Amino acid sequence: MDDDFFEGSNDMAITGLGNGYDEQNGFRRKLREKSGDEKENRTSDFMQQIRDKKEEILEKIKNGDTEPSFQIGSQSFTQKEWDKLLKAIDGSKEEAKREAEAGDEAVAVGEQL
């Protein structure tokens, strides 16, 4: 009696595995199809972004809004951007220098007391 019970259970388990495997294959196939559709959508989105950027550049050239840019290390700066960056750096240096001088004065006053 116990032998019949286990034999029937094994048949059901094997059948269940077979059905599950078929479902997995179907799921994998649908996933591949969906993934292919998503790749096509992403590709068309990227192509649209490139077209938009080309149009933007063309408009800037037509309107004379473009500026030459210079490669400095891994970044590229226009003259305006470079000047702005240098002003920010110079401002930071001057502020640090003032703070250092203020600190030196405070130490000098402390020594006099």
In this prediction, residue 107 has a pLDDT band, given cuts at 50, 70 and 90, of low
User: What's the structural domain count of the chain?
Assistant: 2
77, 70 Cβ separation under 8 angstroms: yes
CA gap 53, 19 in Å, rounded: 51
**Position 104 pLDDT exceeds 80:** no
Same domain, 5 and 34: yes
Give me the amino acid identity at 89: I
Same domain, 57 and 77: no
Same domain, 55 and 9: yes
In this prediction, residue 14 has a pLDDT band, given cuts at 50, 70 and 90, of very low
Q: Is pTM beyond 0.85 here? A: no
Count the neighbouring beta carbons within 10 Å of the beta carbon of residue 110.
8
Same domain, 21 and 52: yes
Domain that holds residue 85: 68-113
In this prediction, residue 50 has a pLDDT band, given cuts at 50, 70 and 90, of very high
CA gap 39, 45 in Å, rounded: 10
Q: Which has the minimum average pLDDT: 17-26, 55-64, 81-90, 95-104? A: 17-26
CA gap 27, 14 in Å, rounded: 20
